[in-house]
Amino acid sequence: MRTAGLTRRRFLRGAAGASAVAAFPAILRGQVPEVKVGAVHPVSGLLARVGQACRNGAQMAADEVNAAGGIRSLGGARLTLLTGDSETKAEVAQAEAERLIREGAVILTGAFDSGHTMAMAKVAEERRIPFLIDIARPTTSPAKGTATSSGTSPPAGSSG
């Protein structure tokens, strides 16, 4: 039985597609870009246990893409995961998203709950970069419907 939710394949598909769009100008210049993915999760504070698992999953996904030769559509570009800790606080999630973009992230992922998602979606929308929501349910997230945000989590009521 297949369960809905974030799988490594879904994450990789979303990250690779969004990264390809974001890196297109570099492709036109003939450069093979390093695709920087900004991942913000609550790795300290009340939600640290699950946030650490989310961060580990994101790193495993990036490692899997790189081990398979990188993003083929970008000439083998490697994924580099830039990480941030929301400290289980929405305002910190927003600040971390902004920091990761300054460090070169061309796509954001993470968040975990609606408050974090909303804060990060605001940054992504303002900076016009993709935001792949990996956990927060889009049906309950205020980020639903923004031009740069997309979710991969199961529908409400599908988890125990």
Q: Which two tokens stand for residue 111?
A: 């968040």
The pTM for the full model equals 0.72
CB atoms inside a 10 Å sphere around CB 8:
13
Q: Residue 51's closest CA among 96, 21, 2?
A: 96
Predicted pLDDT of residue 133: 85
Domain definitions of the chain by residue range: 8-24+33-151
DSSP for 72-129, please give it: GGGTSBPEEEEEEE-TT-HHHHHHHHHHHHHTT-SEEEE--SHHHHHHHHHHHHHHT-
Predicted pLDDT of residue 33: 77
Question: Could you identify the residue written with the tokens 């598909």?
Answer: 13
Predicted pLDDT of residue 160: 43
Which helix (DSSP H) or strand (DSSP E) does residue 27 occupy? Answer: helix 8-28
pLDDT digits (tens, 9 = 90+) for 38-71: 999 999 999 999 999 999 999 999 999 999 999 9
Round to whole Å and give the CA distance between 129 and 146.
11
Q: Kindly give the confidence (pLDDT) of every residue in the chain, 160 residues in length, as a single tens digit, with 9 standing for 90 and above.
A: 444 555 666 666 666 565 555 555 554 555 657 999 999 999 999 999 999 999 999 999 999 999 999 998 888 999 999 999 999 999 999 999 999 999 999 999 988 888 888 899 999 999 999 998 887 755 444 445 555 555 555 444 444 4
Predicted pLDDT of residue 40: 96
The CATH class of the 8-24+33-151 domain is alpha beta
Q: Are 37 and 63 in contact (CB under 8 A)?
A: no
Predicted pLDDT of residue 113: 84
Q: Rg (Cα) of the chain, in Å, rounded?
A: 15
Say which amino acid occupies 91. E
Predicted pLDDT of residue 159: 47
